[in-house]
Chains A and B, each alone.
Chain A
Amino acid sequence: MLIGMDVGGTNTDVAFVDGETASIKVPNSAGIDTALSRISRPGRLAVSTSTPLNHLLAERDRKIVTILIPGMGLFYEGGMKGAVNHCGDIVEDIDRDEIDRFLRANPADAVAIAGKFSVRNPALEMAAAECACRYFPKERIALSHPLAVLDFPARIVTTRLNARIREEAFRLVSLIGQRKKDFLFFRGDGGLTTPENVLKDPSVLYNSSPAAVALGVHYLTGLKDCLAVDIGGTTTDLVPLEKGIPCTEELVYGGERTVTRVVKAESLPFGGDSVIADSIEPKRDGNALAFGGRLPTLTDALNRAGYEIGDFRASLSLRLEHAEKAVDDYCSIVAAAVAAHDPPKIAGCGYLAPILVPEIARRARKPFVIPPHAACANAVGVAVSRVSLTLFAHFDGGRGRVVMNGETGKIDRVGDDDELVAICTAEVKRRALAAGADPRDLDDIRVLHCSSFDVVRGSFRTSRIADIVVQVAPGITAEAR
């Protein structure tokens, strides 16, 4: 049994996939814990929790301070002593007193620690974290080296983002862990990962709904090229699928690049809970009247058009002409956005999809499909996803060191490229299996990068350096096929 849970803005959706698919919807007002209590069946639980994290990231009043160790080359304002060079050697130590003085003078909610080339040697970041431990609990300290990618500015932004949400990630891990011992998190790029990995880099949870919808649509419809139109409470997301997979892009947070990948989607600020004044407004203020809210919404407008959603009589206070205009405007806005994508077909998801998508498709002049379980397609996508992970390895024979995803290990010798790729492939498989991957999902390991060169000292070849990136790609698990 594969179980997927997606905590959305309004509801938590749960899907059960075991040959057949079943789904339930639990209002968030009841709490995540209530949704978890409804999962009594045994099976693999995967959880998508982007929405609470998105809300947390929208809060700007949290103060994050950053210990920057920019080392050599371009320096950064506020940068502190300490330098790791491109080979991973420490060529300048940190100044612990400097860090102490900085943290004393700058009280904050959480701290981000980022050092240049820390992915080649995390020692200085770890030493700085020891200093920070005197001021912050570990849940409020985020480090950049687990991000593994060479790109210091983007790692700084990602680490700041992680500092902001890491404590919430710890809370979620603990909350879900109390109900279900083994579970996995669903990432924004559409793969599953372990709670341990999430605590190192919680940014991977950010904005995961489009990925969930994309996988759900592909699983439920079998369509390879289409546009998923996901009508949620707060937004309507358009997610293109090409050859059965969604496209990913770099997550941009606060206008700045991160190293985190997310599924590409266009998010329109209108959904079932969008408030109606004269027409539909791009904002949410709690539930629809039909679900105990205080302001009329798009859902109430549909009730005025004759549907019976929730306590539909409560929607009567919305004036009919306002209701009709709101539905008309909504369909026009979404149809225009859909037409701009020019997809061969659209797939409607979300509770209101069976009502609204046929009209949107008509206006956009596109064929459409409403898959079964459309209301919970996102949770289905989470359920059927596979464990995926990327391994960044840097081998340095001269130093007897290998750094894998920011963690340093020892190595006796560095063999040829084929041998190193084989080592990395075996390692990524081992890690994926330990995380709960289906062995059948590990047949296709992608080598994303492989480069190496000899190190020459005094005219003699003394060792080799190699960089290898291998990946178990995101996608649908063999168990669901």
Chain B
Amino acid sequence: MTTGLIFDREFLLHEQSPSHPERRERLSYTIDQIEEAGLFHHPRIRVSRPPRATREQVERVHHPEYVRFLEEASRRGGFIDFDTVVPRGLLDCALLAAGGALHAGISVWKGDFTNAFALVRPPGHHARAGTGAGFCYLNNMAIMVRHLQHEGVRKVLVLDWDAHHGDGTQSIFYADPSVLFTSIHQKPLYPGSGDIDETGEGPGLGYTVNMPVPPGTGDVSYHYLFDTVIAPLAREFSPDIIAISAGQDVHFTDPLTGLAVSARGYAELVRKAVMLADSICNGKLVAVLEGGYSVEGGLPYTNLGIIAALAGLPLESIREPAGYQEILLRATDPSAHERVCQTAGELRKLLAPHWNSFS
């Protein structure tokens, strides 16, 4: 069993502006944590550098006009929205991030790695076919999925666990029954979409599954949603590969969100996904880094927990400082779980016409 870590020091170079929250130290600190944990040398882990994604691979997802805009804006600098400016040289960084996701996916599909984690920047899940948004330029996840399908994969299950709704990925696959897009995200929060009644359209109706959760939601609710919504759907959908949009802004120390997931809780969730992949698609699972902004708090070791879960290391040992318990208690809303259960019940009713698991 081998877990691939897809990483290139060039991922550290991208910077929208010196004070933007999607900044290089997000990954620098994580790399420090991985180095200090010795995981770059672990016998079950192999580090691999990706090639850049090609124009052809990118344009399977994005409009050529948008890619040309990025190319032009990358020369002189440009603007998409107040969260997403285009610094000079952006396209090279974005193509490498997309290449990272793609390399992770194809390596797992071909059996070079059992599973993989693409530690890429900039993130991608808010990027739509024709525009970037929310710190994202190219939709790394969607580019990977389309490339996998080009290489013979039929069905992909996407688990978007970033605290923000993966609206870009949802829009790209909204009418596509070959990709089951599921998302757990905080609501209300940017971008505002991701209600339970957004379930897809046309042939893709029933293949978009949104699980909005209130601020203060913690481990118990995330595991409840996995067990009662995601796992039954996954078994019925029977994908060829599972792809996780791994945003670590669900951690209780994240400054941009209000959730209460712990590092171990998140790692256990990834382990459940690994076990699910084992049971339905020969263990083929790939994770792509999205958000996570608690650079001086939980982000580095939450990322480490994901790697540990993928590599089958003991998660009982994932530990947070005793002093952080108080922050976790403050972040937790005890009433959140009841609301999550209620939403999940309504969601299952909405999906019942499309899935035997819920009928």
- The yes or no answer to B38 lying at the interface (CB within 8 A) is yes
- B205 to A: closest C-beta gap in Å: 42
**Which residues on A sit within 8 Å (CB–CB) of B151?**
none
- The yes or no answer to B304 lying at the interface (CB within 8 A) is yes
- The yes or no answer to A231 lying at the interface (CB within 8 A) is no
Q: Which one of B33, B318, B323 lies within 8 Å of A92 (CB-CB)?
A: B323
Closest to A149 in B: B35
- The yes or no answer to A117 lying at the interface (CB within 8 A) is yes
Q: Are A74 and B41 in contact (CB under 8 A)?
A: no
Q: Are A73 and B37 in contact (CB under 8 A)?
A: yes
Q: Are B304 and A73 in contact (CB under 8 A)?
A: yes
- The yes or no answer to A75 lying at the interface (CB within 8 A) is yes
Stretch at the interface among A83-91, A130-138, A197-205, A280-288: A83-91
1/0 per residue A61-83: CB within 8 Å of B?
00000000011111110000101
Q: Give residues of chain A (206-262) contacting chain B, Cβ–Cβ below 8 Å.
A: 257
Q: Are A151 and B19 in contact (CB under 8 A)?
A: no
Q: Are B19 and A456 in contact (CB under 8 A)?
A: yes
Closest to A82 in B: B321
- The yes or no answer to A29 lying at the interface (CB within 8 A) is no
Bound Cα distance A74, B301 (Å) = 8
Q: Give residues of chain A (141-157) contacting chain B, Cβ–Cβ below 8 Å.
A: 150-154
**Which residues on B sit within 8 Å (CB–CB) of A153?**
37-38, 41
Q: Are A86 and B41 in contact (CB under 8 A)?
A: no
Query: Are A92 and B313 also in contact (CB < 8 A) when A74-B308, A152-B36, A453-B24 are?
Result: no
1/0 per residue A441-481: CB within 8 Å of B?
00000000001011110011100010000000000000000
- The yes or no answer to B319 lying at the interface (CB within 8 A) is yes
Q: Are B18 and A454 in contact (CB under 8 A)?
A: yes
- The yes or no answer to B146 lying at the interface (CB within 8 A) is no
- B41 to A: closest C-beta gap in Å: 6
1/0 per residue B18-42: CB within 8 Å of A?
1111011100110011011110010
Most buried by A among B19, B29, B321, B323: B321
Q: Which one of B20, B29, B35, B318 lies within 8 Å of A74 (CB-CB)?
A: B318
**Which residues on A sit within 8 Å (CB–CB) of B313?**
74
Q: Are B321 and A74 in contact (CB under 8 A)?
A: no
Q: Are B321 and A72 in contact (CB under 8 A)?
A: yes
Bound Cα distance A460, B322 (Å) = 29
**Which residues on A sit within 8 Å (CB–CB) of B81?**
none
- The yes or no answer to B197 lying at the interface (CB within 8 A) is no
- The yes or no answer to A140 lying at the interface (CB within 8 A) is no
Q: Are B319 and A73 in contact (CB under 8 A)?
A: yes
Bound Cα distance A459, B83 (Å) = 12
1/0 per residue B118-159: CB within 8 Å of A?
000000000000000000000000000000000000000000
Query: Are A453 and B25 also in contact (CB < 8 A) when A85-B296, A86-B300, A153-B38 are?
Result: yes
**Which residues on B sit within 8 Å (CB–CB) of A164?**
none
Q: Are A150 and B41 in contact (CB under 8 A)?
A: no
Closest to A73 in B: B301
Q: Which one of A92, A152, A453, A460 lies within 8 Å of B37 (CB-CB)?
A: A152
Bound Cα distance A92, B325 (Å) = 12
- The yes or no answer to A116 lying at the interface (CB within 8 A) is yes
Bound Cα distance A92, B319 (Å) = 12
Q: Are A74 and B296 in contact (CB under 8 A)?
A: no
Most buried by B among A76, A86, A92, A151: A86
- A54 to B: closest C-beta gap in Å: 24
Q: Which one of A75, A151, A455 lies within 8 Å of B36 (CB-CB)?
A: A151
**Which residues on A sit within 8 Å (CB–CB) of B300?**
73, 86
1/0 per residue A83-122: CB within 8 Å of B?
1011101011000000000000000000000001100000
Q: Which one of B21, B32, B38, B322 lies within 8 Å of A456 (CB-CB)?
A: B21
Q: Are A150 and B36 in contact (CB under 8 A)?
A: yes
For the complex, count residues of B whose C-beta is within 8 A of A.
34
- B84 to A: closest C-beta gap in Å: 16
Most buried by A among B319, B322, B323, B324: B319
Q: Are A72 and B23 in contact (CB under 8 A)?
A: no
Q: Are A72 and B320 in contact (CB under 8 A)?
A: yes
Query: Are A459 and B19 also in contact (CB < 8 A) when A150-B32, A151-B41 are?
Result: yes
Q: Are B18 and A74 in contact (CB under 8 A)?
A: no
Q: Which one of B32, B318, B319 lies within 8 Å of A86 (CB-CB)?
A: B32
Q: Which one of A71, A451, A456 lies within 8 Å of B23 (CB-CB)?
A: A456
- The yes or no answer to B317 lying at the interface (CB within 8 A) is yes
**Which residues on A sit within 8 Å (CB–CB) of B21?**
456, 459
Closest to B40 in A: A151
Query: Are A86 and B29 also in contact (CB < 8 A) when A151-B41, A152-B37 are?
Result: yes
- The yes or no answer to B305 lying at the interface (CB within 8 A) is yes
Q: Are B19 and A460 in contact (CB under 8 A)?
A: yes
Query: Are A73 and B305 also in contact (CB < 8 A) when A86-B36, A152-B36 are?
Result: yes
Bound Cα distance A83, B324 (Å) = 12
Closest to B21 in A: A456
Closest to B20 in A: A456
**Which residues on A sit within 8 Å (CB–CB) of B20?**
456
- A143 to B: closest C-beta gap in Å: 16
Q: Which one of B12, B24, B296 lies within 8 Å of A87 (CB-CB)?
A: B296
Bound Cα distance A87, B296 (Å) = 7
Q: Are B24 and A86 in contact (CB under 8 A)?
A: no
Bound Cα distance A75, B267 (Å) = 14
Q: Are B36 and A453 in contact (CB under 8 A)?
A: no
Bound Cα distance A177, B335 (Å) = 71
Q: Are B319 and A75 in contact (CB under 8 A)?
A: yes
**Which residues on A sit within 8 Å (CB–CB) of B318?**
73-75
Q: Are B304 and A74 in contact (CB under 8 A)?
A: yes
- A261 to B: closest C-beta gap in Å: 14
Closest to B39 in A: A74
Bound Cα distance A87, B298 (Å) = 12
- B118 to A: closest C-beta gap in Å: 20
Closest to B317 in A: A75
**Which residues on A sit within 8 Å (CB–CB) of B12?**
451, 453
Bound Cα distance A197, B23 (Å) = 38
- B241 to A: closest C-beta gap in Å: 27
Q: Are B321 and A91 in contact (CB under 8 A)?
A: yes
- B172 to A: closest C-beta gap in Å: 31
Q: Are B38 and A73 in contact (CB under 8 A)?
A: no
Bound Cα distance A81, B29 (Å) = 22
Query: Are A92 and B322 also in contact (CB < 8 A) when A154-B41, A456-B21, A461-B19 are?
Result: yes
- A321 to B: closest C-beta gap in Å: 48
Query: Are A455 and B25 also in contact (CB < 8 A) when A91-B323, A92-B323, A152-B36 are?
Result: yes
Q: Give residues of chain B (312-336) contacting chain A, Cβ–Cβ below 8 Å.
A: 313, 317-324
Bound Cα distance A71, B263 (Å) = 14
Q: Are A72 and B41 in contact (CB under 8 A)?
A: no
**Which residues on A sit within 8 Å (CB–CB) of B19?**
454, 456, 459-461
- B288 to A: closest C-beta gap in Å: 21
Bound Cα distance A71, B320 (Å) = 8
**Which residues on A sit within 8 Å (CB–CB) of B38?**
151-154, 257
- 20 A–B contact pairs at CB < 8 A? A70-B319, A71-B321, A72-B320, A73-B305, A73-B318, A74-B318, A76-B317, A86-B32, A86-B300, A91-B324, A92-B322, A116-B37, A150-B32, A153-B38, A153-B41, A257-B38, A453-B24, A456-B19, A456-B25, A465-B25
Closest A-B pairs by Cβ, 3 of them: A153-B38, A75-B317, A73-B301
Given contacts A75-B317, A451-B28, A453-B25, 5 further A-B pairs with CB under 8 A are: A72-B321, A73-B305, A150-B32, A154-B41, A257-B38
